[in-house]
Amino acid sequence: MIRQLCLLFALSLAAFTTYGAEPEMQVYKTATCGCCGKWVDHLRANGFKVTVTEVSSVAEYRTKLGVPNNLASCHTGVVNGYAVEGHVPAREIKKMLEEKPNAVGLAVPGMPVGSPGMEMGYRVDPYDVLLFDKAGSITVYGKYEASK
Ligand SMILES: [Cu+2]
């Protein structure tokens, strides 16, 4: 009986630790980037454990992580080996961590108004969340419509 209880306890503990684990994200941004900080707040509010490194230029980290220049934005991050470029919503990042696609990462190129960290009143510009791979192919992973 004790043995069984111990096993049960060990199993539930294991389930809890894998289930309750927060995804850990490393973010590279410049010190003066306000919208980058707001995006980090968005990630933290959605259960990500974020470590921020302030750098003089994000470009070298972007290149190192394999993000193509035409998908560039203001900050770059890495979570579970995936690159995350720009104002990507937590929803698509979680979807990627769950589905584990064969890809380099996600990007929201530029800085669309209304994306997480880029809020400006009620205005929302349409934008796509893009999944990109090593071979250079890009697919739409999430779609956000403009506000009416
Ligand atoms: Cu930005």
How many angstroms separate the alpha carbon of residue 22 from the centre of ligand 1?
Answer: 24
Report residues near ion ligand 1: CB below 5 Å: 35, 74, 111
Amino acid at 22: E
- Walk me through the domains of the chain, giving residue ranges and CATH numbers: 22-144 (3.40.30.10)
CA atoms within 13 A on the CB side of 130: 18
| Helix ranges restricted to H, the chain | 2-19, 34-45, 59-65, 90-99
How many angstroms separate the alpha carbon of residue 35 from the centre of ligand 1?
Answer: 4
Mean pLDDT of 119-127: 95
CA distance 2 to 100: 39
How many angstroms separate the alpha carbon of residue 133 from the centre of ligand 1?
Answer: 23
Q: What is the pLDDT of residues 43-102, one digit of tens each?
A: 999 999 999 999 999 999 999 999 999 999 999 999 999 999 999 999 999 999 999 999
